[in-house]
Chains A and B, each alone.
Chain A
Amino acid sequence: MSTATISATPIRIALLGAPNSGKTTLFNALTGSRAKVGNYPGVTVSRREGVVKKSERRLRILDLPGSYSLRGETPDEQVVERVLGGELGERPDAMLIVVDATTLRRSLAMVREALEEHAGLPCAVVVTMVDEMRARGGRLDFGKLSKTLGTPVFPVVGHRGVGMDALCRALEAPEAWRRPKPFAKSDAPEARFAWVDEVCDDIGASSIAADTRSDRLDRWLLHPWVGGLVFAAVMIFVFQSIFTWAVPAMDAIEGLFGEIGRLSRTILPGGLLADLWADGVVAGVGSVLVFLPQIIILFTLIHFLEDVGYMARAAFVVDRIMGWVGLQGRSFVVLLSCSACAVPGIMAARTIPSPRDRLATILVAPFMTCSARLPVYTLLIAAFVPATKVGALIGVQGLVMFALYLLGALTALGSAALLKATVVRGNISTFYMELPPYRLPTARLLGTQVWQSTRHFIKRAGTIIFAASVIVWAFLNFPQVDATAGATPQETAQRQLEGSAAGQIGKAIEPAIAPLGYDWKIGVGLIASLAAREVIVATLAQIYAVGDPDDFDGLRGALRADVNPDTGEPVFDLAVALSLLVFFVFALQCTSTIVIMAKETGSWKWPIFAFSYMFGLAYVASFITYRAASAWLV
């Protein structure tokens, strides 16, 4: 056989292992950051595939979801078995099972299961955390383990690269691996564990001391009330960092894109093309990238907390509370992340082991007050809520802002309880979560993970928002209305708006939104905000011909001054503003979220469902708010 034929045949190796076994570290060490992330069809399970960096043959590693057993009860859990059996894509050419040296007395059971079920497949075992096992006084006879299993065994310290060369060399030729021993099918965990205990006694895996360092930390971090305080402090820290640290960078990005827009207007000849470029493309891309600093900080913190082992502890602390609404501890962290942006939050839901809980969390995530709602809230509150104080310290405006946050969070929890009792009920699986020893991730691993998440955010959300902003721009500018002679630029802009497709749609839906207190101009804003919530601010700015969308004071004044030509009443009053605020708390006006929901749940069914029930809720709640506020407040 020539070398050319060897390098032409791609080999697919399935990577199996329990959560926390070091599987991700190994995957990243083998493939670098060149992983393709996707979803298995029809299930809420993410799929990762990467190419081995240094290999001469085309070596693809298929990272299977972390699990404690091959046999699954729900479709999501069955992915591992179906991939190995060749039911989801082509059958892999070999399997690589990752086991943590410190938990062999549990994890060897899955090795045995894999060898029983897939006897024909070349198999190798990678033993990770060897340094940690040694530090805890353990000694392992790897030769004996290899002999017992009949497979090659590679001890590695993944994050330091120890043992990786030998592993990479062996991966080049799975055909040459020693064939595993044929094991009788036992089908009962009891029988497998009896065998595991025997093997562990034999190779010296039975006497590994407890991890005293983790013990000492857990004494405080999991303490009944100290643990609660630490949890609150960590969450406040995460929350603060998203809003405080990110601000200078966000301002810089916003300024940069404003500058690019202004600059291109001076360079480009006036006309439609310049409008499309400056108002559509630059403004659209800028409106996404402005969230980048928040997203990078959030992902860094989340991945760090996850890798270091705190996320599992945080989940332990709040699990009981989340249990009341049918969710689990990890959902809390995901929902909190959504206060930056629901898109990374929904992606972070991958850390929730139970697919049902993950789905329920994803479906309620958009209720959490994301930063895209802030410009809308700020504008309306500043314009219509009186800047008076309750008592000496608390301002009414701040109170309204807090109430909106609270309303979003409570709705998320309430909806989760409702969904878990109805739509995503299914068979209730046992909740279990391992508490791994505390481990410091390397900067490289952390960097790779943050980069992977961020890159996907830019790619997915960026393309969608970009396209949506161009479409909104087109709807606002077509069909073109001829400028009447002698009309001021403002009058021309007004006529253009009324004649545009967006204006016509706004007028068409006016009867439907009139019960909420909105006129057709707000209708145009609402339609535009389907692309992204904050677009309504820019759209209202365009509608009221304020010119500079960042001119908040000007827009505020214009909103307050607008009068309905038929009734002579102001278009906006406190009741309308409150109604609109409530609408923005509930409605799912975000194309990026809808798209990410479809990607992460593997179907368009769920985003359509979420959009519908959230829209229904928004409509009813806004109607009640408008009526109540009109009766009592105005």
Chain B
Amino acid sequence: MAANQEDSSLAHKPVGFRGTISPSNGAEVPRRLRELGFVPGTEVSVLRRGPLGDPLELELRGYRICLRRADLTEVRVDPVSEPDS
């Protein structure tokens, strides 16, 4: 299945999403985010959304951080396949 760019971006994932960060092809993830642990292979989940849709509260590497969706567009993710689904 060829997921298009829009679909695989972390910025557009719903609350409850769990996945791993995939190697970004072409588009560069800002260095700041990579230093915070947004590197390929890292598990990330979307915990919450701010009252007006922004920012997102994310969990990764055992900590929680909030980021605005606009800053997450370059982060590509693959959903974790649940064993029972």
Residues of A participating in the B interface, judged by any CB pair closer than 8 Å: 68-69, 71, 73, 102-106, 109, 188-190, 193-194, 208, 210, 218, 222, 224-225, 227-228, 312, 316-317, 319-321, 323, 429-436
Name the residue on B nearest A224 (C-beta).
B51
* A172–B21 CA distance with the chains assembled, in angstroms: 44
Q: Which residues of B23-54 have CB atoms within 8 Å of chain A's CB atoms?
A: 30-37, 39-40, 42, 48-54
Q: Are A323 and B54 also in contact (CB < 8 A) when A103-B61, A430-B33, A432-B32 are? A: yes
Chain B residues contacting A320 (CB-CB under 8 Å) are 50-55
CB-based contact B62/A208 at 8 Å: yes
B67 touches A430 (CB 8 A): yes
- B39, A106: Cβ atoms under 8 Å? no
| Cα A225 to Cα B52 with chains together (Å) | 10
User: How far is the CB of B14 from the nearest CB of chain A, in Å?
Assistant: 14
Given contacts A109-B35, A189-B35, contact A319 B57 (CB under 8 A): no
Q: Given A222-B48, A435-B65: A68 and B57 within 8 A (CB)?
A: no
A435 and B42 in contact, given A106-B37, A189-B35, A316-B50 (Cβ under 8 angstroms): no
Contact status A193-B37, CB under 8 Å: yes
Q: Are B66 and A109 in contact (CB under 8 A)?
A: no
What are 12 inter-chain pairs, A to B, with CB distance below 8 A?
Answer: A71-B31, A103-B63, A106-B60, A106-B62, A189-B34, A208-B62, A228-B51, A320-B53, A431-B68, A432-B32, A435-B65, A435-B66
CB pair B51 A105 closer than 8 Å: no
Q: Which A residues lie within 8 Å of B55 (CB)?
A: 316, 319-320, 431, 433
Given contacts A102-B62, A193-B39, A435-B66, contact A218 B48 (CB under 8 A): yes
Q: Which residues of B have CB within 8 Å of A106?
A: 36-37, 60-63
Q: How far is the CA of A434 from the CA of B48 in the complex (A)?
A: 13
A355 to chain B, nearest CB (A): 14
Cα A190 to Cα B61 in complex, Å, equals: 14
Distance in angstroms between the alpha carbons of A47 and B51 in the assembled complex: 35
Contact in complex: B62, A430 (CB < 8 Å): no
B64 within 8 A of A: yes
Task: List, in ascending order, chain A residues with CB within 8 A of B60's CB.
Answer: 106
Any A CB within 8 A of the CB of B71: yes
A436→B39 CA distance, assembly (Å)? 21
Q: How far is the CB of B63 from chain A (nearest CB, A)?
A: 4
- Chain B residue numbers with a CB within 8 Å of A432 are 32-33, 36, 65-67, 71
Q: How far is the CB of B55 from chain A (nearest CB, A)?
A: 5
Please, how many residues of chain B have a CB less than 8 angstroms from a CB on the other chain? 31
B57 touches A429 (CB 8 A): no
6 further A-B pairs in the complex, CB-CB below 8 A; given A105-B63, A194-B39, A224-B51: A73-B32, A105-B62, A224-B49, A430-B32, A432-B65, A433-B65
CA gap between A69 and B30 in the complex, in Å: 13
Contact B63 A102 (CB under 8 A): yes
Interface centre among B52, B62, B67 (most CB of A within 10 A): B62
Contact (Cβ within 8 A) B32 A319: no
Complex contacts, B61 vs chain A, CB 8 Å: 103, 105-106
**Cβ of A316 and Cβ of B67 under 8 Å apart?**
no
Docked complex Cα distance between A69 and B54 (Å): 25
**Which residues from chain A contact B52 at a C-beta distance below 8 Å?**
320-321
In whole angstroms, what is the CA distance A236 to B3 when docked? 47
Mark interface residues in B50-85 (1 if CB within 8 Å of A CB, else 0): 111111010111111111100100000000000000
Asked whether, in the complex, the Cβ of B34 is within 8 Å of the Cβ of A319, the reply is no
Q: Specify which chain B residues have a CB less than 8 angstroms from the CB of A109 in the assembled complex.
A: 35, 37
A551 to B74, CA, bound (A): 65
> In the complex, are the beta carbons of B50 and A430 less than 8 A apart?
no
* Contacting residues, chain A, for B71 (C-beta < 8 A): 430-432
**Known contacts A102-B63, A103-B62: A71-B35 contact under CB 8 Å:** yes
B-chain residues with CB within 8 Å of residue A228 when the two chains form the complex = 51
The reply to whether A189 and B31 contact each other, CB–CB distance below 8 Å, is: yes
Which residues does chain A contribute within 8 Å of B30, judged by CB atoms?
430
Neighbouring A residues of B57 by C-beta, 8 Å? 222, 316, 435
- Determine the residue in chain A with the shortest Cβ distance to B60: A106
A532 to B42, CA, bound (A): 54
Chain B residues with CB under 8 A of A227: 51
Query: Can you name the residue of chain B whose Cβ is closest to the Cβ of A70?
Result: B35
User: For the complex, what is the distance from the CA of A210 to the CA of B53, rounded to whole Å?
Assistant: 24
User: Quick check: A317 and B51 within 8 Å, CB to CB?
Assistant: yes
Q: With the chains together, A68 CA to B63 CA distance in Å?
A: 13
On whether the beta carbons of B35 and A323 are closer than 8 Å, the reply is no
Within 8 Å by CB of A319, from B33, B42, B54, B62, lies B54
Residues on the B chain within 8 Å of A225, using CB: 51
Chain B residues, Cβ within 8 Å of A188? 34
| A436 vs B62: C-alpha distance when bound (angstroms) | 11
Docked-complex contact A434 and B62, CB < 8 angstroms? no
Q: Which residue of B lies closest to A317 (CB)?
A: B51
